[in-house]
Structure 1
C-alpha cells in the first residue's frame, strides 16, 4: 500500500493479526490518514474531508471522507464504505486481505499506526501499464461481459433468488434490461493471460489482480443512445458497503434512456432497481439517476434531444432524497415544461419498496392529476385494435389505421401481422396501405 514496511514484527502479534478483528480495525484506524497515504490530497470541509475520488476519472473533488464515522463515499460514482473496504477497492483485494494489510500482518505492508501523514503521503505503487482500448472495442467487450452475466443469472440461483425477493424477477423485464449476475465464473472462461485480460482490466471489469470487480453482485448494463453498452451497475446481495457499484471511468449513458424516444413524460428514480420496479408494473417511461446526486450531462442531453416535456420525480423517501429532489427540480425548471413529485406513503422508502406490497393502480393514484390524465391518453393511443374485413383486416394503433388486403400472386406469398410483413411460402401476397 505504501513505501513504509513492516518486515519483522513479533510472531505473537502477527499470529493474532492472521484473524483480524474487523470492528477493532475500523474503530482504531484513521481513515483520513489511510486515504492520504495513497497520495490523495484531502481538504477539511465541515465534518468531512474532501478530495478527488480514485475510483473514477474525477475532475472536481467528489470524494467525502468522514473521520468521525470512519466512512467514505463518492456521490459521483457510488463508491462507499469503511476503511477496510476503501483499501480493498483501491488495492483489488478481498476485505480480509485489506484488513490484514491494515494490521500489518503481511510482510512489506505498513501497519495502520505507521501510515504517513498527508505531508509524507506515500507515492502510489507502480502498476503494470494497461492497453489502450478504443470505444468500439470497449463496447464489444462490455456487451460480451453483460451477455455472460445475463446467462449466469439463470445458472446460479443466488442472483435470481435475490431479485425474486425484491419482486424484480419479471421475465420480460430481465430480458429487456439484460439483467445478470457475477459469480466469478467469467474469469474461468477467459484465457489465463493475453490481450483480453489487459483490456478487461483497462475498462474496469477485472481488477489489477485479475479478479472480477462485480463479484457477488446483480449486474445491469447501461446503454447509450446508439444502443451500445457503455457502463455496468452492480448491486450487492447483502447490505455490506459499497452496495452500489459502477464501472470505473465516470458515469455514461442513462438507464432505460430509450424510454425518451417514445414518451415525452419520464419518471426519474434514484437507482436502476427502482426504475425496473416501475417498468415491471407497466410504467415503461421510468429512468434512473446514478444515486441521489447522480444527474449527469447524459441525462440533460437525453431530455433535450428527445423533446421531453414533463418529469415526475420519484426519488427516495428520506431527507437526502427530498434534498436531491429540490436541487433537481431547480435544474429542470428551464429544461422541461413541468416537474412533478411522487409523494410516497409514510414508511415507504422508494419505488422498489412500494411495489413489494402495492400495485400499479396504487402508484397511479400517487401521480398528479395532469400526469394521470396524460398517461391514460397515452395508454389508450397505444392499444392495438384489429378488425377483420372480407379482404383482410384493419389495424388501429397510436391514432392511425392500417388496412391490409390480400392480392393474388403465383408461387410466392407473404403474410402480414400487427408487427410487420414476413414471407410465408406460396399462394397469396398481402400488402398494406395506410389511411387516416
Structure 2
C-alpha cells in the first residue's frame, strides 16, 4: 500500500473539482460545487463537491468520499489501482508499489489496460510503415480527408491481413489477448486475430483508459462486416461507452450540448471540423446506459443519424432513451444519402451548422415520420399510428412529453384530444396523466439539523475551535453523534491540534477523522460537512448554541438538585435540604438569566418556547 505521506501528497497535487468535472458537469454553488450524481439516476443536482475539504457527497444516494473513492467508484477500480492511476497523473513515485499488488486482484485491470496500450502502439506503427500501412494511410488521408494531426490525435492504426500477426507479435500474451476480445478461438481450437486488414480505432473510457478496439474493413470482401467491434471484455461493455467521449469533454462543457452520431469516422470528421462536442454510439442505436452517461455532461442532444430507414429507426430508439434519461432531444435532418462525415467533407462545416439550427424537436420528428409512414392508409393507418404511440408511451416517465405527444397526435390526426387520452389510458398503470414520481434519498436537509448537528457543522467549517467544544461538552451530550465526537476529541488530544478544521492542516485532520469512523458515521459526517449554510452570521449562531448548551446543563443540574432535595427530605436531613435549596435558587437565577439571553420564555403550561 502507499504510505500516508504519499496519499497526502497525491491529494495535495490534485483538485477534486477538476477530477469530478472530467466525468460530470459541475456548477459553482457558494463555497462548493454541484453536479448530477453519476452513481444513480439523478434528476437534479444532488452531488456536492468541496475543493477545500477534498470531499464529495451525494445527498440522494449517499455516495461519497475523497478523490480516491471517487475514482474507485466511477472507474470501478480497487483502491491500489486508483492510487496508482492518480499517482501517475501527478508524478508521485510510490516507494512500495509492489505491496499494492500483493493480492493480484488490484493489478488485474492495470495489466489488461497496459496490454491494450502496447497493442495500440503496435497498430499505430503498422499505419506509419510505408509498405504495410500505405493503403490504410491513403484511405484515411486521401479518401476520408483526415489530417496527420487528426490521425495522431485519435491514435488510429492498422491491423495487417494475416491471421496471426498480433499473436506472433505478443506470443506470451495469447490468453490475455483472447480475454480482451482481440483474439478468437476457432472450432479447431486454434487462436486467430479478430481484426485483420482493418483501420483500427482505439476506444477509451471517459477517464482516458484504453479499453477496446474497433476496425473498419479495407478489402472489398463482402462476407465480413464493414465495421467490427471486439467482444465485451473485463474492460469494455459496448452499451456503456460512447466513442470519443474523453476527447469531447471540453466541447461538451463549452457548448452545453452533444452531437450524437453513429460511426467512428463521422465523429472524427466532426471533431476535425471544429465540432468538439460530438460523440458516437458506435454504429448501433443508443442504449439506456449511453444516454445516462450523456446526462452527466449535457442537457440537450442533437441526433445526427443517417436518413435511411435503419438510421430513422435508430433515431426513434435513441429518442426514447434520451427522453427517459431526462435529456432534451432534437433531430438534425441530413440530406438524403448523406451522413455527417460526407456532408462536412463535401459541403463544409457551415452546412452542418445550418442543419443543426433547423433541427426538429423530438416530438415533431417522431410524429411527422410516423404520419409520413402511414400516409394514405385512412382509418387503418390512424389505428396503427395510435397503437405505435401507445407502445412508445408505455413506461415513459416524462409528463410533459406525454402531453406533447397527445396534443400533437390530436392535431395531426384531427381527433379530439380527450378521446386520444382515453385511448392511451392502457399504456400506463395509472393512466397517461399519472404524475411522475421523483426518485430521491432520505438524507436530512440542513433546515432539519438538530442542536448537535449544528454544533458539529460549525466545527467542520472551522468556525468553532475544537478546544472550545471540549471545554463545554462531553461526547455523551451529542446523542447519536457521541462516537463521532469522541473520535474527534481523541484525535485532537493525540495530535495536539490543529485548533480548527480550517487552514492548511484542517483537511488532513478531517481525513483522519473520517478514516477512524464506521462507514455509516463517516457518511453522516461527510454529509454534514458539505451541507448548505443556513446562518448568515455564524458568530452569532455559535454564541446562541453555546448559550443554549449552558442552559441545558443548568436544567440538568436543577433536575438533579430536585432529586437530591427529595431524598434529603425523606431522610429528614434539614441541613442538607437547606444547602441544596440554596444551590437550587442560585441555579434557577442562572437559568432565568440564560433564558433572557437566548430570548426564550416560558409558556403558560410551563414549557420553554
Instruction: Output the TM-score relative to the length of structure 1.
Output: 0.50
Structure with the greater alpha carbon radius of gyration: 2
Q: Which is bigger in relative contact order (C-alpha 8 A, separation at least 6)?
A: 1
Higher strand share: 1
Instruction: Output the TM-score relative to the length of structure 2.
Output: 0.36
